[in-house]
């Protein structure tokens, strides 16, 4: 409901801020990947676009798994605007994450970067693919040609 209201165009910036604040004040009730995936980019990312992104960097350091996932998924909004810096910075921070649910989210966002600018994704992968959890790497290279995928997975790139 909040996503639809935020996106509806019937709310002004003050009301969008209220939705954004309400969302982040209630992350203790966010307990599922699909809730994050449908809402983080559409509320947090959309609100923070063209604003200070410091809150994302607070979320990425949270002990709360879902807040960490919010931090990376929120950047999907930026990716759709062809802005990748925050995605790559947060992905780098999450390279040592222990949770598979985070690995999948980071890999997915890297893949989305690659759909728009493959060179940027590959530059990131060149630097970090050997350090990445296997699931993160698999998600990131999912759409690569088979030969390239196998080279990454064997560590031969």
CA distance 137 to 83: 21
83's CB contacts (< 8 A; 6+ apart) are none
Q: What is the pLDDT of residues 29-66, one digit of tens each?
A: 999 999 999 999 999 999 999 999 999 999 999 999 99
Q: What is the mean pLDDT of residues 146-151?
A: 96
Q: pLDDT of 60-98, one tens digit each?
A: 999 999 999 999 999 999 999 999 999 999 999 999 999
Domain boundaries along the sequence of the chain:
2-154
pLDDT band at 2 (very low <50, low <70, confident <90, very high): confident
- C-alpha separations of 110 from 66, 71, 100, 137 in Å: 19, 14, 15, 9
Q: What is the dihedral of CA 10, 13, 16, 20, to 10 degrees?
A: 170
**43 within 8 A of 2, measured Cβ to Cβ:** yes
This model's pTM is above 0.75:
yes
pLDDT at residue 5, rounded to an integer: 86
Nearest CA-CA partner of 102 in 51, 50, 36: 36
CATH of domain 2-154: 1.25.10.90
Round to whole Å and give the CA distance between 127 and 35: 31
Cβ contacts of 57 within 8 Å, gap of 6 or more = 71, 89, 90, 93
Q: Give the number of residues written for the chain.
A: 157
Each residue of 101-131: pLDDT tens digit? 999 999 999 999 999 999 999 999 999 999 9
CA distances to 13, 22, 25, 43, 136 from 18, rounded to whole Å, are 9, 6, 10, 11, 34
pLDDT in the model for residue 6: 87
């Amino acid at each position: 409901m909040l996503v639809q209201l935020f996106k509806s165009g019937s709310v002004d910036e003050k009301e969008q801020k209220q939705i954004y604040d309400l969302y982040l004040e209630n992350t203790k009730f966010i307990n599922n990947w699909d809730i994050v995936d449908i809402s983080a980019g559409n509320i947090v990312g959309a609100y923070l676009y063209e604003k200070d992104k410091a809150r994302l960097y607070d979320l990425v350091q949270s002990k709360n798994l879902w807040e960490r996932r919010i931090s990376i998924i929120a950047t999907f909004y930026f990716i759709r605007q062809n802005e990748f810096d925050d995605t790559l910075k947060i992905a780098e921070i999450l390279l040592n994450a222990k949770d598979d649910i985070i690995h999948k989210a980071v890999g997915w966002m890297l893949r989305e970067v690659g759909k728009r600018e493959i060179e940027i994704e590959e530059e990131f992968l060149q630097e970090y693919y050997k350090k990445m959890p296997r699931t993160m790497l698999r998600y990131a290279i999912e759409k690569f040609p088979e030969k390239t995928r196998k080279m990454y997975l064997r560590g031969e790139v």
